[in-house]
Amino acid sequence: MSKNKNKSFIQSHATPQKKPVDSLLDVMQEGREYASLVDVAPKNLNLRDELRRAITEIETVRQHPLLVYAANVINIPSGASIDISYIDDLPFSEMVSAVPPEVDTIDILIVTPGGLAQQVSQFVNRVRPRFKNVFMVIPYMAMSAGTIWALSGNEIWMDQRAFMGPIDPQVPGKDGRFIPAQALLALLKTIQEKGQENLKNGQNPDWSDIMILQNMDAKEIGNALSLSKYSVQLATDYLLNYKFRDWTTHGNGSTVTPEERSARANEVAQKLCSHEHWKVHSHGISREVAWNELQIKINHIEDVPGLQRAVHRFWALLYWIFDNSHLTKIYISNQYSLFKSRVPTSQK
């Protein structure tokens, strides 16, 4: 390609000047909700009002309030924690308290990489005693502790692009980094089985396995065991008391007994916590996998007229906000809002 032709090619493919707009929702195009925002430059944009407009679109379809808990899983600010943690307790509680007292049914839209199951328990304790029906909406990611939280809903509504994840907890290692508890326990089990087999055959355990055992921290193993049991117990309780609460009839028409409901809840929770089944903590569980492998009924947002469009618009707006800001978490409803951010060190 000649120099002039090359120059012409570059000019024709240069980044266009961004178009100033007053509202992102007003220029959003169906089917390319996020792409239609890339080349615009909002002026005097009120993020709170824009998000509430998108929330209202969902509420108009669903006919009850929507509460949003969203972490920035798109553009994580350096040094920021976006996990579910104890610091979420007060803002989430305030958001719940702001719901009008006569309301008995809510949606909770969550986007999270996971975090503390203990704090999820507090979220559920804030919500379930007050509301008769709680429906969980997942537009994208609800991993680990977020999956446990989703199981506390009477229904789980997921987009086709959304996913949950295994609920095996993570524990801090000697170096401070977090490791999946079940991966640690699976390694310990493998070493034990190999050692027993060697002893059975009159051989000593492998030296490499002995060295691994010597470097294992008893506290790590204890935490892995206790936290895994805690995750399984929470998931079992939530499935039994909420998600499976209205499961009363089998496909063949026979009645579901309390014993069958309890056994199914524990089976699902155990499988969700199984490292041997999912292999990695970050394994994404789609709504099809949730049904086919776990027998958890997932509601599809496209089955309700207008809901998929409203959820896609909200998620594209949220995605754009996270991608173009230092926000770490957003708690917002039509009655409450709080934005948390972390300014990069270089800008302090």
Residue 36: what are its φ and ψ, rounded to 5°?
A: -70, -10
Same domain, 298 and 329: yes
pLDDT of residue 187: 63
Task: Using alpha carbons, select from 225, 232, 227 the residue that is nearest to residue 270.
Answer: 232
3-state secondary structure at position 277: helix
How buried is 17 (Cβ within 10 angstroms: 0-12 exposed, 13-18 middle, 19+ buried)? exposed
pLDDT at 200: 83
Of the candidates 264, 280, 296, which is a domain's last residue?
Answer: 280
Residues 141 and 289 in one domain: yes
pLDDT at 228: 86
Domain endpoint, select from 280, 309, 336: 280
Determine the structural domain holding residue 320 and report its residue range: 19-165+284-347
**320 and 335 both lie in a single domain:** yes
| Whether the Cβ atoms of residue 104 and residue 133 lie closer than 8 Å to each other | yes
Give strand pairing partners of 20. 41
pLDDT of 194 reads: 78
**Rounded Cα distance, 327 and 348, in Å:** 15
The first and second tokens of residue 313, run together, are 């618009």
63 and 134 fall within a common domain: yes
In this prediction, residue 61 carries a pLDDT of: 98
3 in a structural domain = no
Does any domain span residue 127? Answer: yes
248 located within any domain: yes
- Residue 179 maps to a domain: yes
Residues 200, 74 share a domain: no
- Asked if residue 8 belongs to a domain, the reply is no
Q: What is the CATH number of the domain that holds 78?
A: 3.90.226
Check whether residue 191 and residue 146 sit in a common domain: no
Amino acid 220: pLDDT: 66
Q: Check residue 77 and give its pLDDT.
A: 77
- Asked if residue 40 belongs to a domain, the reply is yes
Are residue 34 and residue 139 in the same domain, yes or no? yes
Q: Are both 207 and 119 inside the same structural domain?
A: no
- At 79 the pLDDT is 80
Domain count, the chain: 2
In this prediction the pTM is 0.85
User: Per-residue pLDDT for the chain (348 aa), expressed as one digit of tens each?
Assistant: 455 554 544 444 445 678 889 899 999 999 999 999 999 998 888 999 999 999 999 999 999 999 999 999 999 878 888 999 999 999 999 999 999 999 999 999 999 999 999 999 999 999 999 999 999 999 999 999 999 999 999 999 999 999 999 998 766 555 555 566 666 666 667 777 777 888 788 888 887 767 756 666 666 666 667 788 999 999 999 999 999 999 999 889 999 999 999 999 999 999 999 877 887 878 899 999 999 999 999 999 999 999 999 999 999 999 999 999 999 999 999 999 999 997 654 443
Residue where a domain terminates, one of 245, 264, 280: 280
189 and 118 fall within a common domain = no
| Farthest-apart Cα atoms in the chain, separation | 79
182 and 218 belong to one structural domain: yes
Beta strands 155-158 and 163-164 are: unpaired
Q: Is residue 135 part of a domain?
A: yes
Q: Which helix (H) or strand (E) holds 341?
A: strand 337-341
Q: Is residue 5 part of a domain?
A: no
- Do 262 and 323 reside in the same domain of the chain? no
Pair (157, 288) in one structural domain:
yes
Output the CA–CA distances (angstroms, integers) from residue 87 to 139, 172, 197, in the order listed. 23, 19, 48
